[in-house]
Each structure stands twice: as structure tokens, then as C-alpha cells.
Chain A
Amino acid sequence: MNKFWQVARHEYRRHVFNRRFVFGLVSVPLAMILLVGLIFLIISLENDTTAIGYVDHAGLLTNPVPAPKPPAPYRQVPMVAFASETDAQAALDAGKIQAYYVIPADYLTSGALRVVHVNSIKNASSQQFYNFLGTNLLKGTDPAIAVRLVKGADITVQSADGSRSLSGNDWFSFVFPMIAGIGFIIAMFISGGYLMQAVVEEKENRTMEVIMTSVSPGQFMAGKIVGDTCVGLTQILAWLLLIVIPILLGRNTIPFLQTIRLSPQTLAVLAFIMLPSFVLVAALMATIGATVTEAREGQQMTGLISMPVWIPYMLVALLMSSPNSSLAFALSVIPLTAPVTMLVRDGLTILPVWQIALSSAIQIGCAIAAIWLAGRAFRLGMLRYGKRLSWRELFAHPA
């Protein structure tokens, strides 16, 4: 087997068959599950199931039909009719209801309601009352139309050529690239961190002097970078499986999951821009590892790489309002800002093929250059035990 592959294989096995990696693999989905659990907890705290009262002076809620069930995790709030405001007030004072609505006789013309409460009424509860009122106002209308009217407008924006569309129900297509970007960045920096640490360790424990009499610095660094990129991709694949399997399992029972699909554009951005960016970051981390004397010093320097990667998230409002602006284009071709910018834009607009191709070419070119630089830094910095290699030396010194 080629020595390059030997190095890549060793690097991959060394990290993947390691408790630290397994912990990293499990911790992110666990954190996500915890986050989702926390959201559900907040919602359930928000969801006060104490009844809501109403006094109907307009006669709109005589023999009312119940409101449609709210979507999970919301629970239904009972609606209780009161003959007079005095009765409703007494129930409110006794804590039997969380609030009561007074529907005036001229409601249909004025559209005005009055709500009486002690503690402010939660949005989720008031929404249920409006749904209840709306359903009863539409009593007698075709049920399908009634449901649509209660649900409200769902505007679908479609591109002129019909290739892309986005609607309120299809929010996942917009959110997914952003989440994928965060996942990629986390995996990128975790595996890049492994690589940097491995290089520093090899310097510290003097392994590299032995290695250098077997393989060339370029071959060695390229093998390490590819091995560590595969470590990161394994991580992403495992996370994807943890997302995709529940989606596939829940597809038939949860209608929202049926709307999830990835566009060819998203796949192109992931394959041709994220992947080379992954290699670029890994190579830059390896370069840092080769120039510093200890892992802690290297970690401080990784900020130089992570900062540009996160910049598009800081400018996300600008990118969202004008996804085809000059700023968006510039950020799409600058090496470290390109991956996230392209993913954010991917959720919002049609990316011209030439822009994907140009950005991809720049990423690939920079990744190759970074691998070369890592090899050079390794050669120049490997035997400088306890002494840092300056960036000036890295570019000026003959290797």
C-alpha cells in the first residue's frame, strides 16, 4: 500500500477507535436531544392548560364546536362559557380560569374583543381561543375551507424557472443549510483539532524524526490531512444517520417530515465547497501544529482560522436580505468565508452554477496550497524542539 495511504489509515484508526472520538460522536446528538427536550419543556411551561372563559354578548358561540386540536407538544385548553362578566370574574378570582374574553354584541362589525386576566395570558393559550372563535365563526362553511382559513395564509415563493420554491411550511429547506453549516464547522474544528494535536505530539515525543526517514514531509502531511478529513466525515455521517433514521421512521406519522428534501444545489455546495473547505481547514490546523511548540499555543492560534469561518453567521441578516449582493458574492469566493456563505445563500436563492464552480475551484486550489504549506511547515518546524517557527521563516526559509 502506498505510504500516503498507510499514514491516512493510521491517522484514521488512531482517532476513530478512541474513546475521545466516540464521546465526541455521541455528545453532539445528545446535546441536540437535550436542546430539543429543553424546548419542549419551555413550551410545556408556556402551555397553561387552565381553562379560558368567555362571555358571548354577540351570540356567536352558542352551541359551540370545539377548536381543532393544537399541534404537539401543545395541549388543548378547555373553553368555558359564562353567562355574565360577574360569573367569569368570580371564576377568575377563584383561579378556575386563567382569563376570560368578552365578546361584545357588535363584534362582527368592530372586530374588537376584551380580555380580562390576572397574570398575563400566554400566547399559546390566546391562540387557542382565537382558533376556537374562528372555527365557530366558520361553522357551516365547508370544513376543508374552514381549516384553511383558521390556519392562515401559506405563501409559496417560486423562482421564475420553477426550479426552487420556498413556503412557510417548507422552512426546513431554508434552515437545513444553516444547521448543516454549523455541523460541518463543528466536525471541521474537532477533526482539525485532533490533527493539530497529533502533529504537536509527534514533535513533542520526537516521533517525526523516525517518520521522516520513511516518508517525505509532503506525503506524510497529505496522508494525515486526508485521514483526519475522513475522521470528520465519519463524524458527520454518523450525525446524519442519527438525523435521517428518525426522519425516515417518522415520515408516515409526522406530515412535516414529508416536506424535507435536499435540492441538487445544496448537495453541490456540500460536495464541492464544504469538502475542500474541510481539507483546507485541516491543512491549516496541521500547519499551526507544525509551527507551535505545544498544543495550548496552537489552540490559541486556531482563532485565526475559526474567525473567518464564522463571519458569515455574524452577517447573516445582510446575507438574508440580499443573498445576491456583491458582499454575498465576495464572501462566497473568499476561502474561509465561502462554505458558510454559500450554505446560507443556498437556503435563500438560486446560486449561479458559475459561482459554485468558481468558489469550488478557489477552495480546491487553496486546499492544495495549504497541504503544501503544511508539508513545508512540518519540514522546517519538526526539529525545532521548544522553539516556534515564525510565519516569516515559513515563507522565507529554504526548505
Chain B
Amino acid sequence: MSIVELSHISKSFGPVKAVDDVSFTIEKGELFGLLGPNGAGKTTSLRVMLDIFKPDAGSVAVLGGALTGPKKDRIGYMPEERGLYQDIPLERCLAYLGALKGMRPAEVRRRAETYLERFELSAYKNKKVKELSKGMQQKAQVIATLLHQPELLIVDEPFSGLDPLNTQMVKDVLLEQHKQGVTIILCSHQMHQVEELCQRIVLIDHGKVMLYGDLNEIRRQFSVNAVLVRTPVELPSLPGVEMVEPVNGAVKYHLAQGTDPQDILQALVASHVPVEQFEIAMPTLDEIFIRVVQRQGAAA
């Protein structure tokens, strides 16, 4: 069942076409990646989805139709540009944002307490938001987004400004929400983060959809005939290998047409090479993106 359906959306700001005929659907319970470089049109697509902007053309269906007031209460949105009231204490800020999502005061207090504890912000709940560090404000923003237990969670660049520990904490929260059946849209320009978390993606560049579908399927489509081998010793030269490329301490064998990766494995075993890692080299999303953009450039 589709939770979000964008159909041929276009949106311009003056002469700039921010989104151009974008279509994709997001199924219930999936962790969906909205990808693209900076300025690709991801945030505009989200804002159209959330009825912050009206599209110039196309239609949007969220939670089974047009986005109404009660439906907004079922959505948690964390924008790229974080926004919390700076001049009031954190607890009051959360209470207000929770109340705007239709929560009762007691309920807000109880849930806020739990999340503040988890994000190690309990000691700061009476401090004004502006007195918190940037990382703490980021975590507070995550709490504000999750407080009302949304069915649809939309997070725009959730890891920006976070240290590795807090990045992991946010990832854990997203995965936990995903396990609980929450539909998540993860919007990011950091392709490796999306690669790690999402099953399906849409990749937008210059306002247009470049790639859309199952992530593994996309990677398979763009896979090249290559294997990645990691050994503690120097690798011998092998038949059927066209090019050898060092990759992060391992070696990537680019195979000649007709060479089977299994032949390479057998050759390595026959040569008594102690193999620590052997895998079919799948392209990363970064590599796929570069290839798509180059292909697009060549076509133009």
C-alpha cells in the first residue's frame, strides 16, 4: 500500500525549475532513500509532499489522499534547516511542538522524559534551546520529530552536524522506528548513509529523477565484471584480468569479457593465496551516480 505518491510533480521558482516531472511512490513500512547532490531538488520535493509548497503541475497523495490537518499529526518531519524556538526552555519547546501535533500535555511530558533520557538531554531540559550545543540541538530536533510517534517519518539530512557517536545513535533510532513499522523517508546527499539504511531509493539531479527502484537491483544494473580481493600477501597475476585497481587495502580485478569470477577464485585457491575477502564488486551509489551524470552529459 502506497503511503506517499508523487505523480509528475513540477515546481519552479522564477526561471529556475527546481523539480521537473518527478514521480515516485513509497510503500508502507519501508525505509526509502531520497538521494541527490546539493541543490538537486530533494528538499523542494519534500516540501511539495508536505504541502509547504504547492506544485506547479502534478499531484501528491500522502497517507491515502490530500494532506489534511489531521494527517499532519501522523507525520514527523525533520527539516534540513533545523528549527527550534531558541528563547524558551527545551522542555517547553518540546511541549509546544507536541501540542501542535495534537498530543495531551501529560502525554508530551511522559514521552519527552523518555527521549530526553535516551538522548542524554535530561539535565538540559530547563535550559534555553540557544544555550545547548549544536549537537544537542540536533538531538532535540530528533526528539521533536519522534515525540508524537508518527506513522510517516521524513528526515532531511539527519546526520549533518553530528559526530560519529550521535550519527550512530540517530541511525539506531531510525532502524528501530523502521522495525516498528514506521515508514521512513531519508533524504540525504550522503549516498553511503542511504546505501547502508535504505531498501529503495530515488535519485534526483537537476530536478529530474535519474534512478528509481530497489537499491540492489540498481546496483546489479550498474555492476561491472569485477571482483574485490583482500589478501595478506602480494597477489599473483591472473589470466582473464584486464586491470588491477587498489581499493582501500584490497585489490579490484577488472575482468575481461567472458571471464567468470569463479575462475578467479579457483585460480587464487590453486595458487595457495590465503584469501581474506573475495566478493563480486558491486558499484557504490557514488560510482553509480557519477556514471549516470556522465552518461547524461554525454547524451546531451
B52 at the A interface (CB under 8 A):
yes
Cα of A133 to Cα of B127 in the assembled complex, Å: 73
A385 — which chain B residues lie within 8 A by C-beta?
Answer: 81
B102 — which chain A residues lie within 8 A by C-beta?
Answer: 3
Of all chain B residues, which has the CB nearest A398?
B54
Q: Mark B21-63, 1 if CB is under 8 A from A, else 0.
A: 0000000000000000000000000010010111000000000
Contact yes or no, A1 B81, CB < 8 A: no
Interface residues of B in 86-100 (CB under 8 A from A): 86-88, 96-97, 99-100
Q: Mark A275-314, 1 if CB is under 8 A from B, else 0.
A: 0000000000000000000000000000000000000000
Cα of A385 to Cα of B80 in the assembled complex, Å: 13
Contact yes or no, B100 A6, CB < 8 A: yes
Of all chain A residues, which has the CB nearest B79?
A209
Of all chain B residues, which has the CB nearest A17?
B88
A84 at the B interface (CB under 8 A):
no
* Known pairs A214-B97, A214-B101, A385-B81; A209 contacts B52 (CB<8 A): yes
A6 — which chain B residues lie within 8 A by C-beta?
Answer: 96, 99-100
Contact yes or no, A206 B100, CB < 8 A: no
A69 at the B interface (CB under 8 A):
no
Query: Per a CB cutoff under 8 Å, which of A1, A214, A215, A399 touches B54?
Result: A399
Contact yes or no, B83 A208, CB < 8 A: yes
Chain B nearest CB, measured from A194 CB (Å): 12
A215 — which chain B residues lie within 8 A by C-beta?
Answer: 69, 72, 100
Q: Mark B94-127, 1 if CB is under 8 A from A, else 0.
A: 0011011110000000000000000000000000
Interface residues of A in 198-246 (CB under 8 A from B): 201-202, 205-216, 219
A201 — which chain B residues lie within 8 A by C-beta?
Answer: 86
* Known pairs A213-B77, A383-B47; A206 contacts B72 (CB<8 A): no
A10 — which chain B residues lie within 8 A by C-beta?
Answer: 96, 99
Contact yes or no, B52 A212, CB < 8 A: yes
A57 at the B interface (CB under 8 A):
no
Contact yes or no, A205 B72, CB < 8 A: no
- Where chain B touches its partner, the secondary structure class is loop
* Known pairs A14-B88, A399-B54; A210 contacts B79 (CB<8 A): yes
Query: Per a CB cutoff under 8 Å, which of B47, B73, B83, B96 touches A205?
Result: B83
A99 at the B interface (CB under 8 A):
no
Contact yes or no, A210 B69, CB < 8 A: no
Cα of A216 to Cα of B54 in the assembled complex, Å: 13
Sorting the interface of chain B by its residue count into under 10, 10 to 19, 20 to 34 or 35 or more gives 20 to 34
B144 at the A interface (CB under 8 A):
yes
User: Considering only CB atoms and an 8 Å cut-off, how many residues of chain A contact the other chain?
Assistant: 26
B209 at the A interface (CB under 8 A):
no
Contact yes or no, A3 B82, CB < 8 A: no
Chain A nearest CB, measured from B105 CB (Å): 9
Contact yes or no, B79 A214, CB < 8 A: no
A7 — which chain B residues lie within 8 A by C-beta?
Answer: 100
B84 at the A interface (CB under 8 A):
yes
B75 at the A interface (CB under 8 A):
yes
Cα of A398 to Cα of B102 in the assembled complex, Å: 29
Contact yes or no, B72 A214, CB < 8 A: yes
Of all chain A residues, which has the CB nearest B104?
A1
B86 — which chain A residues lie within 8 A by C-beta?
Answer: 201, 205
Contact yes or no, A210 B54, CB < 8 A: no
Contact yes or no, A207 B54, CB < 8 A: no
B69 — which chain A residues lie within 8 A by C-beta?
Answer: 3, 215-216, 219
Contact yes or no, A212 B50, CB < 8 A: yes
B97 — which chain A residues lie within 8 A by C-beta?
Answer: 210, 214
Cα of A164 to Cα of B77 in the assembled complex, Å: 61
A207 — which chain B residues lie within 8 A by C-beta?
Answer: 83-85
Chain A nearest CB, measured from B163 CB (Å): 22
Of all chain A residues, which has the CB nearest B68?
A216
Cα of A7 to Cα of B101 in the assembled complex, Å: 12
Contact yes or no, A209 B81, CB < 8 A: yes
Chain B nearest CB, measured from A383 CB (Å): 7
Of all chain B residues, which has the CB nearest A18?
B87
Interface residues of B in 189-220 (CB under 8 A from A): none
Cα of A10 to Cα of B87 in the assembled complex, Å: 12
Of all chain A residues, which has the CB nearest B96?
A10
Give A residues with C-beta under 8 Å from B.
Answer: 1, 3, 6-7, 10, 14, 201-202, 205-216, 219, 382-383, 385, 398-399
Q: List 23 A-B contacts (CB under 8 A).
A: A1-B99, A3-B99, A3-B100, A10-B99, A14-B85, A201-B86, A202-B83, A205-B86, A206-B82, A209-B47, A210-B77, A210-B78, A210-B84, A210-B144, A214-B97, A214-B100, A214-B101, A215-B100, A219-B69, A382-B52, A383-B53, A385-B81, A398-B54
* Interface pairs A-B: 3 shortest CB-CB: A206-B83, A207-B83, A214-B100
Q: A207-B84, A214-B100, A398-B54 are in contact. List 11 more A-B contacts (CB 8 A).
A: A7-B100, A10-B96, A201-B86, A209-B81, A210-B78, A210-B84, A211-B100, A213-B77, A214-B101, A215-B100, A219-B69
